[in-house]
Structure 1
Amino acid sequence: MHKPDLSESPYQRFLGLELVHHEEGLVEIRMPFREEFLRDDGSDWLHGGILSALIDIAGDYAVYSKTGGDVPTVDLRVDYLRPAKRGCLTAIARTVKVGRRVSIADVDVKDEQGQVVAVGRGVYATPAP
């Protein structure tokens, strides 16, 4: 099993990502709130791009925890279920499949109250053995 290092990317450091839990094929990542994440000035809603970034990163690390190699994103689907309001978000990502060419992870994003605000599925290129 390979432990994700969330500090290796300047973007991930900007997001303030924290690894809460990891095991093979499963990661839980917390993203603290930043004012820059808001959709508009005066809004309490987070921009959807922040949620999709969190889904992509969490899915990537779930697959990485099984493969140990770089897993570039091939496709990403995000379903927004309810508005995400100011506050911390937590992504729970599970590896669904590790294939010869592509691997798949499903991700739930929860708000501070534990409500699922978005779900996603990432498809990642599987590294050569």
Structure 2
Amino acid sequence: MLKPQAAQAAPLAFEPEFIAGLKEIFEQRVAFNRVLGLNVTEVLPERVAARIDMRPELVGHFAYNRLHGGVISAGLDAMGGLAAMAAIGAKHMQDAPLARLQRFARLGTIDLRVDYLRPAIGSHFVLHGQVLRLGSRVANTRMEFLGPEGELLATGAAAYIVS
């Protein structure tokens, strides 16, 4: 005899004002993210995504029109931080959106590792980030940097202070 399945809980979703506030912090208030042209495309409790369009200011090797490695590293770091913010926001859903956004004042990178796998050549790039573990003081993340056709160009892992 089949056992009845337990009711599935609805997936956690952020309020539009929380997502808008997070995007404003990341795209406007973090000046270096503006330099990168980082555009947040997805904010979910379990993962985040963004896009960087290629521009002449971001070229690292002029002969190949290849993206500078510093852009890749900074983009991966930003995605890890955004993933940590999303996870913290999800952990404190009982708080109002503005109160959750104020929790990010002390977030900072304490360790970052980047593996460059392929040259970053293309019209745009897609970045993904997710939290592997959110502790009371440290968040551990994993990130991906993809080319326009979805090819994996670089990966990252980072730790962020969250307390």
Normalised to the residue count of structure 1, the TM-score between the two structures is 0.91
Report the Cα offset of residue 42 of structure 1.
2.9
Structure 1 or 2: larger helix share? Answer: 2
5+ long unaligned stretches in structure 1: none
The 5-angstrom pairing of residues 26-41 of structure 1 reads 26-41=47-62
**Residue 112 (structure 1) aligned with residue 112 (structure 2):** no
The CA deviation at 1:10 is 1.6
Q: Contact between 2:46 and 2:86, CA under 8 Å: does it hold in 1?
A: yes
Q: Which runs of 5+ in 2 are unaligned?
A: 1-13, 89-99
Residue 13 of structure 1 is aligned with which of 34, 55, 64?
Answer: 34
1:1-129 to 2 correspondence within 5 Å?
1=14, 2-3=18-19, 4-5=22-23, 6-67=27-88, 68=100, 69-70=103-104, 71-127=107-163
For the 8 Å contact 1:62–1:93, the answer to whether it is kept is yes
Aligned partner letter, 2:136: R
The corresponding residue for 2:4 is none
Number of residues of Structure 1 aligned to a counterpart in Structure 2: 127
The Cα of 1:16 is off from its aligned counterpart by: 1.5
Deviation at 1:81, TM superposition (A): 0.8
Matched position secondary structure for 2:67 = coil
Counterpart amino acid of residue 32 in structure 2: Y
Other structure's SS at 1:31 match: strand
Please tell me the root mean square deviation across aligned C-alpha atoms, in Å: 1.4
Q: Residue deviations 1:24-67, cap 9 Å, x none?
A: 13110101111111113333211111100000001100001122
- The 8 Å contact of residues 25 and 63 in structure 1, kept in 2 or not, is answered as no
1:23 positional shift: 0.6
Q: Which has the larger radius of gyration?
A: 2
Report the AA paired with residue 28 of structure 2.
Answer: S
